[in-house]
């Protein structure tokens, strides 16, 4: 997939928020399913259980439910790579596979309609084999003039920067307990774990922006959302531009954390891994590898 250079910082162009039909988030989650069918979100007052579902609060507890959840990654690694991975590698894979979609619960409605749901750790369940998320949303934040501002649970903030602060806080409130649950298995400190959160927010928004045909805006929005030094996130979106063989601009970034995939296949680093040199990145981004 060829990525384009980040757009210059301009006023965001956002689709007009539709008047609420089912919920203030139905349109955003329906759009997610249209462009990325392998991930679907259901809003529900009662979270599902059993049949492969795991509650985010159970992941945060760090007990038997987390053991069962990580056994999926352990089995997959043994099957796909014919080898055993270190426990911290398995935990890193499992955290990524939850945090990446969970961040989209917040960032995608913000990106599309400027609505930010509050999703405490007890409000989400995940069915990873089916690519399903269930979420119970009672409270959210929006901007003045949004038709949803009159609904129960709405909080109105004055401007875009205040809304970006709500996005950062909503993700942190949800992921913080989950990171605590994974921490003993990860062999990483707080800064490294929040670096992972920075990467999940940034790269999820980047990828969905590409699928939506709004990659330029996604790059610019992610840069404003995570400019760096916005606690608890230790780094920023930090996009930069490379020059392709035809003089084209190619967007890239250096991840704030490591996914540890290199421990399974040292020759196959991620394209945004700090271990991957710019020459190799250009080759991959232009299909010349």
Question: Which residues face 124 on adjacent strands?
Answer: 135
Percent of residues, the chain, with pLDDT higher than 70: 92
List of residues 6+ apart from 227 with CB closer than 8 A: 236, 237
Confidence at 276, pLDDT banded by 50, 70, 90:
confident
Give the pLDDT of residue 289.
61
For the ranges 10-24, 32-46, 56-70, which has the lowest average pLDDT? 10-24
Phi and psi torsions of 39, nearest 5°: -135, 120
Q: What does the block give as tokens for 252?
A: 């890239």
Q: Which residue has the higher pLDDT, 14 or 103?
A: 103
Reported pTM: 0.90
Instruction: Find tokens 């955290």 and name the residue.
Output: 95
Phi and psi torsions of 250, nearest 5°: -125, 125
Q: Which long-range CB contacts under 8 A does 160-169 form with residues at least 24 apart? A: 160/12, 160/114, 163/110, 163/114, 163/116, 164/224, 164/225, 166/116, 166/141, 167/106, 167/107, 167/110, 167/116, 167/225, 168/225, 168/226, 168/230, 168/233
Q: Summarize the confidence of residues 10-34 as an average pLDDT.
A: 71
**pLDDT single digits (tens) 207-260:** 999 999 999 999 999 999 999 989 999 989 999 999 999 999 999 999 998 888
170 with 117: CB under 8 angstroms? Answer: yes
pLDDT at 115 over 80: yes
- Computed on alpha carbons and rounded to an integer, the radius of gyration of the chain in Å comes to 19
141 with 116: CB under 8 angstroms? Answer: yes
Residue 82's SS3 state is coil
Give the pLDDT of residue 268.
80
**pLDDT single digits (tens) 146-204:** 999 999 999 999 999 999 999 999 999 999 999 999 999 998 899 999 999 999 999 99
Alpha-carbon distances of 271 from 180, 203, 280, rounded to whole Å: 28, 12, 8
Give the pLDDT of residue 21.
53
174 with 121: CB under 8 angstroms? Answer: yes
């Amino acid at each position: 997939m060829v990525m384009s250079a980040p757009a210059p910082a301009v006023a965001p162009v956002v689709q007009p928020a539709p008047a609420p039909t089912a919920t203030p988030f139905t349109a955003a989650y329906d759009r997610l399913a249209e462009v990325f069918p392998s991930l679907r979100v259901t809003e529900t007052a009662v979270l599902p259980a059993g049949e492969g579902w795991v509650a985010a609060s159970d992941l945060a507890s760090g007990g038997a439910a987390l053991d069962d959840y990580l056994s999926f990654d352990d089995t997959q690694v043994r099957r796909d790579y014919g080898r055993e991975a270190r426990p911290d590698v398995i935990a890193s894979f499992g955290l990524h596979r939850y945090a990446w979609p969970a961040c989209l619960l917040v960032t995608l409605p913000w990106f599309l309609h400027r609505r930010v749901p509050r999703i405490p750790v007890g409000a989400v369940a995940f069915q990873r084999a089916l690519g399903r998320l269930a979420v119970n949303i009672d409270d959210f934040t929006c901007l003045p003039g949004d038709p949803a501002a009159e609904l129960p649970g709405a909080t109105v903030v004055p401007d875009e920067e205040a809304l970006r602060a709500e996005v950062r806080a909503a993700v942190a409130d949800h992921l913080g307990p989950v990171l605590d649950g994974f921490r003993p298995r990860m062999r990483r400190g707080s800064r490294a774990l929040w670096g992972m959160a920075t990467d999940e927010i940034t790269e999820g928004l980047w990828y969905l922006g590409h699928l939506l045909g709004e990659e330029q805006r996604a790059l610019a929005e992610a840069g404003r959302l995570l400019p760096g030094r916005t606690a608890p996130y230790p780094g920023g979106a930090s996009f930069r531009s490379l020059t392709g063989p035809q003089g084209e601009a190619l967007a890239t970034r250096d991840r704030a954390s490591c996914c540890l995939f290199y421990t399974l296949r040292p020759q196959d680093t991620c394209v945004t891994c700090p271990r991957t040199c710019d020459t190799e990145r250009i080759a991959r981004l232009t299909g010349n590898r």
